[in-house]
Chain A
Amino acid sequence: MIRKKTCIAMLLAGGQGSRLGILTKKVAKPAVPYGGKYRIIDFPLSNCTNSGIDTVGVLTQYQPLELNAYIGSGAPWDLDISNGGVFVLPPYQTGKSGEWYRGTANAIYQNMAFIEQYHPDYVLILSGDHIYKMDYNAMLDYHIRHGADATIAVREVPWEEAPRFGIMNTDSEGTIIEFEEKPKNPKSNKASMGVYIFTWEKLRHYLTQDEEDKKSSNDFGKNIIPNMLNDKQVLVAYDFNGYWKDVGTIESLWEANMDLIDNPMPMDMHDKKWRIYSKNPGMPPHYIAEGAVVTDTLITEGCEVYGKVNHSILFAGVVVEEGADVEYSVIMPGSVIKRGAIVRRSIVAENATVGAGSVIGENEGNIAVIGQGVVLPAGVSVSAGQQVDETTTF
């Protein structure tokens, strides 16, 4: 028998993340590596565990294999428990129909039976697109204290950027009076973070209603939230002031990685009370050789550095050979930078090889990207902003 849960989380992990280009050609966005030893999904999953939320449904759709394998039993996040845990929820067929997830709201609608098993009072909706540390339990307390039907986490963005976001206009009490998707003339700078807590009974009602509306795009921001506002439901904004970064584009993913090198770090990753968990590859500590020069850099287990690395992030098992020079770059797990290669302002995806003497990226301009598993021959040049996959010829 499944016991009742006060609050369970549903993590939307099905998006393609097409703006990440070749980085998401073979993997879903939440499985994209970040910060030397993490993947994006480690942040919402660790936040759940640290917030005491022990039941998480992960809704997958696009390129799910690597993500599924990564989540596994949920052990790295202590989510391998018998009463709850982490569940991967792909779309499935039922008696009458079977279809892909059509939108964020439809994805949750299709998994209502999963949610109902736990008879939750509240449901937390998350996405796998952001890097942040947040106490969802404090947000839940806020939701309960305000007797809200829905609570939306918001953060203040610079006014000039507000037109890019879903903006919440609130009264002095924090109650949301209006929601505007990408307003030209914003009345507020409180942007939705895509983190919602709903009273489940209400959400169930609105999901069902939304499903009946054939014209709806079945989206939380476009449909569910506006519908609830129209019906004068109680929607409140929950202010979040910590570090938060959308990693939806190559540039922002690169920037978010570089943020971790800033001294002091904008987000405290050494906090023992709020660790970010990840799956461990079981490698020895990294090695900095005689003659290597390492400055302003994050390096994790299994790396071997013989060359020069400045202001960069090296993931597990990366090798930087003698005479290679890496600067302002992100080198993902298992990649090798061969002798004499120069890498500038680049992202090198998993298990790629940069051939000896190659020159990747430039000191200015857009970020160059080498795709997963690409083996670059010696002596090639990749210019700023160029994306290289197996089909690229030199």
Chain B
Amino acid sequence: MKDVMGIIYTGENDARLRELTIIRAIAALPVAGRFRVIDFLVSSMVNGGMKNIGVIMQKNYHSLMDHLGSGKEWDLHGKNNGLHILPPFLTRENVGQYPGVLDALRSNTDYLNHSKQELVVLSNSNIIYNANFKEMIAYYESTGADVTLMYTKDPSMKRDEFGTYIAVDESGTVTDIEVEPTHPTYDNTFMQVLLMKREFLKALVDRAVAHGLHDLSKDLLLRLVQEKQAKVNAYEYTGVCWNIDSVQSYFKFNMDILQPEIRKRLFVDDLPVFTKVRDEMPAFYSNDSKTVNSLVADGCVIEGTVENSILFRGVKIAPNARINNCIIMQDGQVQEGAFIENCILDKQTVIKRNTRLIGPEAYPIVIAKNVVI
């Protein structure tokens, strides 16, 4: 088996996630009742045999660090390898934030140098997927490419003005790349996941930074492809994926996985998704409770009515309270007689007795962490 390392970049633009990302990176966003966005990436990488994973941190990385800890939950607490947190730091040439992923990699050249793996997978953290990396690595090896990009034909990933799209010929070679077009020409959405040799990445980063390039897709990949400087091909990911870059897309992902068929495609038996454990007791449903079409995590106490919703760990729904189409994060409370619909409640929010809170379906209300209404 090939020795492969993983690098996750967590500095994506999060302005359209409103209150949800004030206090955290997208990677640290709570999703699906008990996970964070990054759990899917880290678990995929670990399931793909990667034992050395670096996470490049940008702003607001406290909650992400707190979540990842020593990497124990993913068996990443080994001696030589394991989880490496790479926060931005000040150097003579680097001040504060990284302008782009290339600068972040440049600052962490030491980490790249000291790693022993031959191959490296580089991934952004705003797309939720559960890939079989062993398959992608085998594809890369068999094709002899310099760089393999992961892409999807999932139509929901194709959106005007956002994303990177690639043209792929019959041999799998990437022939064109378009970045954030007003109307995408190609159906293949680049998932911001790349595989190449570690030495190749080091050389690329060096050259890019020396030429003042900051953006991986727009500046670097485009050149490689257009000027045929390297053999870039593509591997199609056929599983389910979601781009988490707005409140709407965050809401949609959570609601999508209420569907059993979709959930089964994300939570695959031999590719389990691990997360930080909280040791809550199982959820309790009282005699007068009513629950339909909902995902409920441990530690919840449900005495009211829950419909089409996702409840994270330790949520309490009081008698005669009713929630519909809601996402309620860890330790949220909905008190007696309250009714909420189309709402996203961040951690530890309290909806007091008899409060009514109804958001439009297309634009869910977001209640920030610790707010009491």
Interface residues of A (CB under 8 A from B): 35-37, 75-76, 260-261, 263, 269-270, 275-278, 280, 282-301, 304, 313-314
Contacts and interface: CB of A to CB of B under 8 A. Distances in A.
A287 B258 contact: yes
Interface string B258-282: 1010010001000011110101111
A284 B128 CA distance: 15
Interface residues of B, number: 41
A252 B311 CA distance: 33
B286 A296 contact: yes
Binding site secondary structure of chain A: loop
**Leading 3 A-B pairs by shortest Cβ distance:** A285-B33, A36-B282, A300-B282
A299 B283 contact: yes
19 contacts: A36-B282, A263-B284, A277-B279, A282-B273, A282-B274, A282-B275, A283-B272, A284-B32, A284-B295, A286-B283, A288-B291, A288-B292, A288-B293, A289-B260, A290-B293, A295-B287, A295-B288, A296-B285, A301-B34
A38 B303 CA distance: 24
Contacts of B286: 263, 295-296
B311 A285 contact: yes
Contacts of B306: 288
Nearest to A296: B287
Binding site secondary structure of chain B: loop
B262 to A, nearest CB: 11
B295 A287 contact: yes
Contact of B289 (A284, A294, A300): A294
Contacts of B294: 287-288
Given A282-B272, A294-B289, A295-B286, A288 B281 contact: no
B232 interface: no
Contacts of B297: 285-286, 301
Given A284-B32, A287-B260, A313 B282 contact: yes
B298 interface: yes
A286 B279 CA distance: 15
Contacts of B293: 288-290
Contacts of B272: 282-283
A293 B289 CA distance: 9
A284 B313 CA distance: 11
Given A295-B286, A299-B282, A301-B34, A290 B292 contact: yes
A313 B312 CA distance: 20
